[in-house]
Amino acid sequence: MTELRGVLVMNKPQGFTSFDVIGKLRGILKMKRLGHTGTLDPMAEGVLPVLVGTAARACDILPDETKTYRAGFQLGTVTDTQDSTGTVLETHAAAVTEEMLHAVLPQFTGEIDQIPPMYSAVQINGKRLYELARAGREIERPARRVHVSAVTLLSYDAETGTGSVEITCGKGTYVRTILHDIGQALGCGACMTSLIRTAACGFVLEQAYSFPQVQAAADENRLAELIVPTDSLFASLPALHLTPSQSGHYRNGVKLSLRALRGLTAGAERYRVYGSDGTFFGLAQPDPENQILRVFKNL
């Protein structure tokens, strides 16, 4: 049987870490070579693309790492984890109107500096921050530049100070920290009460599978039906189709002359490369100085 390869879009349930999802899938799929495209906290649920087989080599080269979340919040409550699973540190009256909320949201879009929470997997001097936090230590953390495309208020109840937002952001952004910082800007504090990732790497929640659905597909020997082709991860890159002769050379590691290739795109830094039979080989990048095409990653 041909080994599976591609993307299995999972709907991560609450209570699982991203690594837990990989561990459980290894048992269902009966294979070890799996990776994921971005960590979700245990309290979060939603889209977690899992890279299966040789696709796992793509973990660190994804061109689209934009993610969208739907997050609930509680104004007036500050916790050590910045979400409702943590210990409450402060409570304040939250006399905040919807207009006041709308007024501060633009501060948290675009390129912003964000201090990662102590309860996070960020490493400083070789130590995970959450390890220090669990030991009762808090250290100074340098701010990191992250990109937030949009923060949209979906609902808000001024009486209870509860509501929800939709946030679209780039890699390394902590949604709970955005909500914490919004609370600070409003002068009352805030914490995240729920989190659903609704989109990641071009995939949406409607495409995601639960563990029972994957298990049923495994039992019925139709797992391949659930796997999205690896090249879908790189749909934003131009495609390069090789001739039969070029395909053979490429497979054998021979660098191809740019002058002999057809369909090159001016200014392109990487290509999706396909063989003459339509097989996806992986990614390649042109070397204009030496006028050759170099293999970037076989997938």
Instruction: Measure Cα distances from 44 to 6, 12, 179 in Å.
Output: 24, 8, 15
**What whole-number distance in Å separates Cα of residue 95 and Cα of residue 73?**
15
CATH number for 167: 3.30.2350.10
Residue 106 lies in a domain: yes
pLDDT at 142 over 90: no
Which of 233, 256, 275 is the endpoint of a domain? Answer: 233
C-alpha–C-alpha distance, residues 73 and 160, integer Å: 11
The residue from 213, 233, 253 where one domain ends is: 233
Look at residues 214, 233, 252 and tell me which one is the last residue of a structural domain.
Answer: 233
Q: Where are the alpha helices (DSSP H) in 166-289?
A: 175-186, 211-219, 244-251
pLDDT at residue 124 tops 90:
no
- Co-location of 133 and 228 in the same domain: no
Q: Is there a single domain that holds both residue 72 and residue 192? A: yes
CA distances from 226 to 6, 67, 141, 206, 299 (A): 9, 21, 41, 13, 19
Query: Are residues 196 and 112 part of one domain?
Result: yes
Q: What is the pLDDT of residue 140?
A: 72
The active-site residue out of 41, 83, 181, 231 is: 41
Residue 1 counted as domain residue: no
How far is 127 from 125, CA to CA, in rounded Å?
6
% of residues, the chain, pLDDT over 70: 94
Does residue 100 belong to any structural domain of this protein? yes
Q: Tell me what pLDDT residue 240 has.
A: 95
Smallest CA-to-CA distance from 10 within 46, 54, 60 is with: 46
Asked if the model's pLDDT at residue 225 lies above 70, the reply is yes
My answer on whether 176 and 221 are in the same domain is no
Is there a single domain that holds both residue 262 and residue 147?
no
Cβ atoms of residues 6 and 227 within 8 Å: yes
The answer to whether residue 277 sits within a structural domain is yes
In this structure, is residue 270 part of a structural domain?
A: yes
Range of the domain at 15: 6-64+202-233
Is residue 119 scored above 70 in pLDDT? no
Q: How confident is the model at residue 120 (pLDDT cuts 50, 70, 90)?
A: low
> Three-state SS for 292?
strand
Average model confidence (pLDDT) across the chain: 92
CA–CA separation, 153 and 182 (whole Å): 12
Q: Is residue 115, in this structure, part of any structural domain at all?
A: yes
Q: Which CATH number belongs to the domain containing residue 246 in this structure?
A: 2.30.130.10
Does residue 56 lie within any of the structural domains?
Answer: yes
Is there a single domain that holds both residue 146 and residue 34?
no
Using the predicted structure, report yes or no on whether residue 2 has a pLDDT greater than 70: no
What is residue 233's DSSP assignment?
G
- Please state the domain count of the chain: 3
- Together in a domain, 52 and 82: no
Tell me whether residue 41 is one of the annotated catalytic residues: yes
| Claim to verify: residue 162 and residue 247 sit in the same structural domain | no
239-287 confidence digits (pLDDT tens): 999 999 999 999 888 889 999 999 898 889 999 999 999 999 999 999 9
Whether residue 169 contacts residue 175, with contact meaning beta carbons closer than 8 Å, is answered with: yes
Backbone angles phi, psi at 171, to 5 degrees: -60, 140
| More confidently predicted of 287 and 137 | 287
For residue 27, what are its two tokens? 């048992």
- Phi and psi, residue 20, nearest 5°: -60, -40
Which amino acid type is present at position 248?
G
Shared domain for 151 and 73, answered yes or no, is yes
Q: Which residues contact 81 (CB under 8 A, 6 or more apart)?
A: 87, 117, 119, 176
What beta strand segments (E) does the chain contain? Answer: 6-12, 34-36, 45-52, 67-75, 77-79, 88-91, 110-114, 123-124, 127-128, 144-157, 162-169, 190-200, 203-204, 239-241, 256-257, 271-274, 280-287, 292-298
Q: Residue 31: exposed, middle, or buried by beta-carbon count in 10 A (0-12, 13-18, 19+)?
A: middle
In this structure, the answer to whether residues 163 and 275 fall within a common structural domain is no
The answer to whether residues 59 and 83 belong to one domain is: no
* Separation of alpha carbons 78 and 90, rounded Å: 5
CA 279 to chain centre: 26
Same structural domain, 58 and 182: no
Q: Whole-structure pTM over 0.75, yes or no? A: yes
